[in-house]
Amino acid sequence: MKLSGRTEDGQGVPLSDVWYIPFLNPKAKERVGYPTQKPVLLLERIIKIATDAGDCVLDPFCGSGTTLVAAALSGRTYIGIDISSAAVKLSAERLRNPMKSESHLLAVGEEGFREKSDYERRILKAIDAIPVERNSGIDGFLRRFVNGHPVPIRIQKEHEDIETAKRKLITASKSKKCSMMILIRTRLEDSSQLFNWTDDNILVIDAYDLIINSWLEKQERRNKPEQ
């Protein structure tokens, strides 16, 4: 499915059905503490799809005024209504100095933000995990929570021994209070025999290609004629 946005000259701009609109950073200048506040970037995107420059945008439940701010920044006029006098006052204050938080993700594009390799993404997809970008110790999370906490996953890197991968996973998981972790081994190494495989809260599994290659190598050795 594709959504069609409209530019000022009326031409359609293809949009995907997934929008990457980051959540508001706790320190974002546009954040006002309103419980249901949405990012200006989100409302701005909706307004530019549904209206043309100069149109009037009506928000009969304007709350903190995000829709009105987005309309003002998009070259639209606006009307806001709310039963709360505090909400009306807050909206008026924001409209005197309308601002929005810029997104690094949208500026560089989704691909520029991604760090995971195609190989790592295939592994995470195979176990139905959610990839995590820009984390030195965690590559993804299971969709299932255990004891109210996420289950982090680390994939052993190409030039990383399994002990180092384990240590980075444990360190990165402490702040999230994770009780269970998954470590995925991607290569065989002589030092693996020194690895402690008995941690009850860490599941160590081999990547599917490692399992297949190891099996094929065993079969080749078994079937190899003696000299």
Q: Are strands 2-6 and 12-16 parallel, antiparallel or unpaired?
A: antiparallel
Cα separation of 97 and 88, whole Å? Answer: 15
Number of separate helices (H) and strands (E) present in the chain:
8, 9
Cα separation of 158 and 177, whole Å? Answer: 27
Final residue of a domain: which of 57, 80, 106?
106
* CATH number for position 45: 3.40.50.150
Stretch among 55-59, 142-146, 161-165, 187-191 having the lowest mean pLDDT: 187-191
* Owning domain of residue 23: 2-106
Cα separation of 99 and 31, whole Å? Answer: 10
The whole-number average pLDDT for the span 162-181 is 90
Q: What is the DSSP letter of 224?
A: S
Contact residues for 210 (Cβ-Cβ < 8 A; gap 6+): 185, 186, 187, 188
Final residue of a domain: which of 61, 77, 106?
106
Q: Is the pLDDT of residue 8 over 60?
A: no
Regarding whether 157 and 189 lie in a shared domain, the answer is yes
Residue 103 has which token pair? 């997104």
Regarding whether 179 and 95 lie in a shared domain, the answer is no
Regarding whether 155 and 121 lie in a shared domain, the answer is yes
Cα separation of 65 and 97, whole Å? Answer: 12
Regarding whether 129 and 219 lie in a shared domain, the answer is yes
> What is the pLDDT, as a whole number, of residue 4?
42
Stretch among 16-20, 99-103, 124-128, 182-186 having the lowest mean pLDDT: 16-20
Domains in the chain: how many in total?
2
Cβ atoms of residues 165 and 154 within 8 Å: yes
Verdict on whether the full-model pTM lies above 0.75:
no
pLDDT confidence bin for 7, thresholds 50/70/90: very low
Regarding whether 7 and 102 lie in a shared domain, the answer is yes
Q: Is the pLDDT of residue 212 over 70?
A: yes
Regarding whether 120 and 219 lie in a shared domain, the answer is yes
- Please return the burial class of 222, using the count of CB atoms within 10 Å of its CB with bins 0-12, 13-18 and 19+: exposed
The dihedral built from the CA positions of residue 84, 90, 91 and 93, taken in this order, carries a sign that is positive
The whole-number average pLDDT for the span 108-128 is 78
Regarding whether 125 and 212 lie in a shared domain, the answer is yes
Final residue of a domain: which of 65, 82, 106?
106
Regarding whether 90 and 121 lie in a shared domain, the answer is no
Regarding whether 134 and 56 lie in a shared domain, the answer is no
Regarding whether 218 and 146 lie in a shared domain, the answer is yes
Regarding whether 218 and 151 lie in a shared domain, the answer is yes
Stretch among 8-12, 79-83, 107-111 having the lowest mean pLDDT: 8-12
Question: What is the helix (H) or strand (E) element at residue 144, kind and residue range?
Answer: none
Regarding whether 121 and 217 lie in a shared domain, the answer is yes
